[in-house]
Structure 1
Amino acid sequence: MIHRMKQIPFTVPTQGPVQNSRRGDVRLQEEAAFGGGSEPTSPTGKRPSVEIPGAYALGSIDPSLYKIADEDDDYDVPRDHIGRIWFAVEYERETEKLLVTLIKAKNLPSRVLGNDNGCDPFVRLYLMPDERRYLQSKFRKKTCNPKFEESYVFQVNSRTIDDRVLRLTVYDVDRHKRHNVIGHALYPLRDHDCLLEGRLVVWRDLEKEVSETTSDRGEILVSLSYNNHLERLTVSVFEGKTFKRVDGVTTVDSYAKVSLMIQNKMVKSKKTEVVKKSTSPTYNESFTFKLPVTSLDTASITLTAMQYYSGHKDKAIGRVVLGSFMFARGKELDHWNEMVANQKEQVSHWHVLS
């Protein structure tokens, strides 16, 4: 469910992120991460790790600005329900900033039967496909209905915003200080029309397991080859299979876009020629990228099958991300690791578009 919101000012603390001159990453100062220097109420007594290049926490927000979300406080709790979470999302295309406000959660499971205070929750916010780094909320003690009212900023290139998915994972800290996952909520940013929708308040029911993969968009045959002496990555796109038609068109004119990302930043993007009137196109094109050996663990390749429209904006049929453990899982991760282990060899695999 989605609510439209009025314009809400975000106030940045006086000590914000600083620039690391050596690496060029935007680092998070601890004082800014937790609302101007206040200590998080962590049961472990330690500050959680929230350092992400180009991302940082803002201070607390005025909860009265989000009273519209209270309209959904009373709802029919589904069977096997593990909680619901509310958050607000806005993308500023001019500054390429994704503004996320974590508002609250309700009906989280209690560790003590019949006691609605048997939960010590906190939330981690990820910008997928990066699963290793996150921003983290403050801890809330003894409540199954926590109010967070905290704001965060992710720096996201406008050319890659549609490839990213906001994931919120809710944890409970038990009496042994173990962090137990309660559930996850996903918000694909390709579903967020930045120009039309502005800031939205969104709720999602938590799920035990989440998956973005779908198998009805088609497949693509790709090869990877890396030459460590030349520090050169070669990506070859051979063919597609059973591409899903966008907007119900009877024929598909398509091309493949290949983008090199380092630490979630676009380095270079290239594309094949357009193949007309085929849902199983043949491309047979190769692209080379300069990629230092030291960047292999922080690099990824995003392949996007695009439906071409003459005179109109092209639309994505589906995509696949190949990269290290930081960016990929399953067959996509295995393909990348096989490439790294077999220097200069061409390693080819079919991949399902998602």
Structure 2
Amino acid sequence: MTTENLTRPGLSSAHSPTASPSSAPTQDASGFLQDIWDRIPLPRWVLITILVGAAFLLASCLLCIVCCWCRRRRRKKGVKKEMVGLGRASNATSAHLVQPDVDDVELGLEDPKRGRLQLSLEYNFRAQELKVGLKQAVDLKALQASSMADPYARIYLTSDPRKVHETKVHRQTLSPIFDENCVFQVSQAELPEAMLVIMVMDFNRFSHHAPIGELLIPLGTSDLHHVLEQWYELGPPGRAEQEQMGELCFSLRYVPSTGKLTVVVLEARGLHQGLSDCYVKVQVLLNRKKWKKKKTSVKRSTGSPYFNEAFTFPVPFSQIQNVDLLVSVWSHSRVARGEPLGKLVLGCRATGHQLHHWADMLAHARRPMAQWHRLQPPQEVDKALQLRKGRRFPLPGS
């Protein structure tokens, strides 16, 4: 009994809770931190302020990094969406962004037949005379489906349009035999730029004479050292007037991400008022209403002016289908108001080469696309535009 009583106190002392192994590391760690805290030669409120400031600075840096990352991600998404839209436009620009069912008929490549002319040309180099022999015409196109025509021909040179030879009228026929000759005075220096124009008209006693077709023969590319006699196809009327108006070269560049349309007016050639001063006007139309316009400098007394001037207009990508670009060449006068020498319209409602130039600009974003365009009569362009009158409001998103 005595030995058991002696051994029990030893066992109880060995397993007493005062020597717990789990509480020893915690006490050591807290003691270590307390030791470091006590060794710092600063007041406690200074240390607490420094720790709070460091935590605030770290949180601010993390927040800035997250915001910058979100902005970059949004910008990349926006650019990607615009690039996807332009990618679709590059494959189907004519159908989606420009105009449905654009084909080569608008370019005049498949123009309906208007008839043929048999013609002979002979140039006398000594007398500097051009002899034109109009033999006959066949398969002329009647302006009315159920009737014949009363055709006659007008013949003149672009170097001297005041001298016009008219044949006699042939009644109720689509294959007249003219068999008439005419002579024009034209020097060898004028031959390279001169052009022979033959217009076949339908005579009407009570109204204006309607044009059936037109033939243009550039004398500079014709071999006049011997007599030429051959058949020619008639083309659509009005081309001679456009030839005299001249041509204009300019480039288009559109950046969809910034919504900027840049027009660079390069040069013009063959203006029919070559001795007058001229300039180019560029206008942006929104929903057939005039919005903004800019002008080039005035070029003095030349038929082939060189401009090389750039203009930039704000056009958001969302409004590109509602915008038309009107480019016109004007004569400048200090005394009287200038007159338009010719105009061009580019945009989704354009046709022919102007429509294809606009489509190329959309299909090749951020790249300048340059092209020559033949000027059109101002009256026809104004009639096709059908401009609306109203107040000018800013473009949405500009």
TM-score category, normalised to shorter length: 0.3 to 0.5
TM-score by length of 2: 0.36
Structure number with larger C-alpha Rg: 2
Instruction: Specify which structure has the higher proportion of strand.
Output: 1
TM-score by length of 1: 0.40
Instruction: Specify which structure has the higher proportion of helix.
Output: 2
